[in-house]
């Protein structure tokens, strides 16, 4: 996006320690057009005891646009350029309106996370009273980007006194494999899994993160997530192993049946200290 010298530019950032579920925070800095002769200003300073990095990236944008609504108008300013380093925000900012129309599900019917903040962001965008454009910029690329990055980390380290009331922590167990859980490639197969995280989504459906287990090799293979009804999720306990039957939909994988509980061998891979469920 070309920089508009007459636009107000707002830089946002979020941070979370032990993501997700750790102390978290976000910040936003505003850079005014030269004609206004105003210094850069921190307009968001939010810190809470627990949240996630994606939620903090969203929260920074929400609170920044709510600030715009409260403070407008400015002489000669008809545009806001929001600058984020979050790919999560960048890739979904235009999809979120479709999710809202579809009951916070994507085009495949899969429930989407953080619907409360996406709803607030859409509302704040609509009520800003002027044109708002979102721009993605790699973190710490500019001097002001470095400042807002430090501010977000400081808010997360502080871890309060704010509260992210929409955060749903879920139940978490120790992870064996490193990396981020990927969408499970469901093709109607039966697989052995070890439950890691159960997270309640919109209208009660659960997002289940798990590690697949190779019984022949007696080793954990990969890290995935799929979905389950509240009843099914209640029967899947953290750190336990199960033989489960999946649906046949790679775009919206669901656990249809728990065939049996399976005793798993002790952890066959040393858990990495920085490995996290996400």
Return d(Cα 188, Cα 192) in angstroms, integer.
Answer: 13
In the predicted model, residues of the chain with pLDDT beneath 70 are 1, 171, 266-278
Torsion of the alpha carbons at 143, 128, 63 and 169, rounded to the nearest 10 = -120
Return d(Cα 257, Cα 54) in angstroms, integer.
Answer: 31
* pLDDT on residue 271: 45
Question: Tokens for 125?
Answer: 């965008």
pTM score, whole prediction? 0.88
Return d(Cα 248, Cα 259) in angstroms, integer.
Answer: 16
Write the class of the CATH domain 171-261.
mainly beta
| Strands 79-84, 131-136: pairing kind | parallel
**Which ranges of 72-128 does DSSP label H, i.e. alpha helix?**
87-92, 96-101, 115-126
* pLDDT on residue 153: 96
- Architecture of the domain delimited by 8-158: 2-Layer Sandwich (3.30)
Omega before 69 cis (within 30°)?
no
Whether residue 40 contacts residue 31, with contact meaning beta carbons closer than 8 Å, is answered with yes
Whether residue 62 contacts residue 39, with contact meaning beta carbons closer than 8 Å, is answered with no
* pLDDT on residue 173: 73
Give me the count of residues in the chain. 278
Whether residue 172 contacts residue 21, with contact meaning beta carbons closer than 8 Å, is answered with yes
Q: What is the pLDDT of residues 244-258, one digit of tens each?
A: 999 999 999 999 999
* pLDDT on residue 2: 78
Which among 240, 241, 246, 242 is positioned nearest to 226, based on CA atoms?
A: 246
Whether residue 24 contacts residue 14, with contact meaning beta carbons closer than 8 Å, is answered with yes
- 265 φ/ψ angles, rounded to the nearest 5 degrees: -70, 170
Reading across the β-sheet that carries 131-136, which strands appear in turn?
41-48, 24-31, 8-16, 79-84, 131-136
* pLDDT on residue 278: 52
**Same fold flag, 8-158 and 171-261:** no
- 78 φ/ψ angles, rounded to the nearest 5 degrees: -125, 10
Q: Where are the domains of the chain?
A: 8-158, 171-261
């Amino acid at each position: 996006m070309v920089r508009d010298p007459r636009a107000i530019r707002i830089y946002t950032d979020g941070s979370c320690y032990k993501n997700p579920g750790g102390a978290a925070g976000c910040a936003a800095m505003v850079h005014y057009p030269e004609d206004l002769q105003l210094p850069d200003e921190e307009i968001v300073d939010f810190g809470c005891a627990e949240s996630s990095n994606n939620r903090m990236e969203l929260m920074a944008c929400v609170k920044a646009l709510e600030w715009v609504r409260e403070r407008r108008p400015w002489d000669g300013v008809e545009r806001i350029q929001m600058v984020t380093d979050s790919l999560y925000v960048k890739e979904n900012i235009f999809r979120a309106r479709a999710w809202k129309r579809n009951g916070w599900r994507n085009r495949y019917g899969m429930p989407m996370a953080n619907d409360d903040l996406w709803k607030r962001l859409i509302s704040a965008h609509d009520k800003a009273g002027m044109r708002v454009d979102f721009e993605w910029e790699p973190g710490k690329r500019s001097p002001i980007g470095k400042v807002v990055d430090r501010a977000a980390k400081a808010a997360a380290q502080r871890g309060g006194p704010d509260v992210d009331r929409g955060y749903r922590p879920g139940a978490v167990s120790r992870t064996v494999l490193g990396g981020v859980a990927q969408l499970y490639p469901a093709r109607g197969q039966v697989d052995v899994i070890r439950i890691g995280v159960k997270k309640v989504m919109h209208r009660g459906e659960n997002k289940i993160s798990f590690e697949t287990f190779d019984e022949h090799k007696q080793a954990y293979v990969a890290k995935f997530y799929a979905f389950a009804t509240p009843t099914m999720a209640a029967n899947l306990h953290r750190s336990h192993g199960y033989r489960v039957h999946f649906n046949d939909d790679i775009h919206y994988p669901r656990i249809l049946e728990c065939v049996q509980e399976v005793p798993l061998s002790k952890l066959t891979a040393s858990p990495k200290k920085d490995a996290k469920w996400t």
